[in-house]
Homo-oligomer: A and B are copies of this chain.
Amino acid sequence: MENSSPLTPLAVALGERAYFIHIGPAQSAAAVDAAASLLNGKRAAFIVTSPVLAAAHPALFSAFRAAGATVHTTSVDGEHAKRIGELERLWEALAAARMDRHGVVFAVGGGVIGDLAGFAAASYLRGVDFIQVPTTLLAMVDSAVGGKTGINLSAGKNLAGAFYQPRAVYADTALLATLPPREFAAGMAEVIKYGLLGDRALFDQLALAGRLSWDHPALPDIIRRCCASKAAIVSEDERETAPEGGRALLNLGHTFAHAIENVAGYGEYLHGEAVSVGLILATRLSAALGLLDASALPAVEHLLGKNNLPVALRKPLPVDALMDAMRRDKKVRQGALRFVLLRALGESITQFVDDDALVRRLWLEAGAGN
């Protein structure tokens, strides 16, 4: 575990096909090789990325171009690229590049590029092959695994899209060298989440490892463990139809996090930062309900804090607005909110909670105001 030699690719068995996740410090070169090999076989390779990434990794995109691939850059960076006008622009660019149904779309970017390019690949000519090259820690452990793709509508986020699995994922940890530290930390919130929800050994490994950085020798193995956790959960519940547990467990901390993002305004907290506060709240709620031994709390707080993640709200947000936002999050049944809760570090369940006073109190303790 403590070296950076190539890891065995992780096999993901989903739906009608299996694919591999390749993780390590030279995997973007492997993605270029994959594109070159497709092009030699007379299959088109079409690369989708964003302006910031095109500027950050010029050698990588030059290599894709030298192999004969078309490189398409979105017109904006960030969440705004997940809109219908950008999807149309991408579909028309695929047609202009004369992509036929044997062509392959590569998403080189974070979750936004993966979601947009993945939906374009799922729908262009009713589906062409798709390869993910995640460039953020968050995308490597979360959005690149599981097959959710899509765009936002005026009415809400991720309302249009497809469940569409990639043919391969190349996660190059060396690309994380240019990731802003705040985004790296935000990715760590999801890493820590996997330890909490189902992998006690990962939690312990993280607790022992000190603060992680892009070149930590254990990082590829840690990413692999997260992908394995997500793949195991997703392959049991690909379309999120399990009545309890299943894919919903991946939402540990997220009912709180969505409320924070919603009330603070999108962009004020990075998603992972809101998740960090959400993990603290979910852990405290589990202890307050008697599910989890309260002695587990300090280890969770310590691990998040050590990774430069917030363990409380930065500024007070109104508690009524936070409660309302949770109720709008679709996880309500007969007045009770559904949460993912911990029975131990590394063991989670879904449960309905109708004690609003308790949840309010926890918000106030985490820095909300009246």
Max chain B C-beta neighbours (<10 A), residue from A123, A126, A149, A162: A126
A153 and B122: CB pair below 8 A?
no
- Listed stretches A35-43, A89-97, A340-348; interface member: A89-97
Known: A84-B84, A100-B330. A123 touches B92 (CB 8 A): no
Q: Would B330 and A160 count as touching, CB distance under 8 A? A: no
Q: Which residues of B contact A161 (CB under 8 A)?
A: 123, 126
The reply to whether A84 and B95 form a contact with Cβ atoms under 8 Å apart is: no
A354 within 8 A of B: no
Smallest CB–CB gap between A122 and chain B, Å? 7
Tier of interface size on chain A = 20 to 34
Q: Which of A134-189 contact B (CB under 8 A)?
A: 148-150, 153-156, 159-163
Question: Is the CB–CB distance between B91 and A124 below 8 Å?
Answer: no
Task: List the B residue with the shortest CB-CB distance to A154.
Answer: B92
Give A86 Cβ to nearest chain B Cβ, in Å: 12
Residue A245 lies at the interface, judged by CB distance under 8 Å to chain B: no
How far does the Cβ of A117 sit from chain B's closest Cβ, in whole Å? 14
A30: which B residues are within 8 A, CB to CB?
A: none
Q: Check A125 for interface membership: any CB of B closer than 8 A.
A: yes
- Cα distance A150–B330 when bound, in Å? 29
A127 at the interface (CB under 8 A from B): yes
Interface check A365, CB cutoff 8 A: no
Q: CB of A244 within 8 A of chain B?
A: no
Q: What is the CA–CA distance of A122 and B148 in the complex, to the nearest angstrom? A: 13
The A90-143 residues at the B interface (CB cut-off 8 A) are 91-92, 95-96, 100, 119, 122-127
The verdict on A215 contacting chain B, using a C-beta distance below 8 Å, is no
In the complex, what's the smallest C-beta–C-beta distance from A120 to chain B, in angstroms? 8
Q: Does A324 sit within 8 A of B, measured CB to CB? A: no
Closest beta carbon of chain B to A276's beta carbon, Å: 27
Contact B162 A127 (CB under 8 A): yes
In the bound complex, residues from chain B placing their C-beta under 8 Å from that of A153 are 88, 91-92, 95
Contacting residue for A126 out of B155, B156, B163, CB 8 A? B163
B-contact 0/1 string along A306-343, CB 8 Å cutoff? 00000000000000000000000010000000000000
Given contacts A91-B159, A125-B159, A127-B162, could you give 4 more A-B pairs where the C-beta distance is less than 8 Å? A91-B153, A95-B155, A95-B156, A123-B161
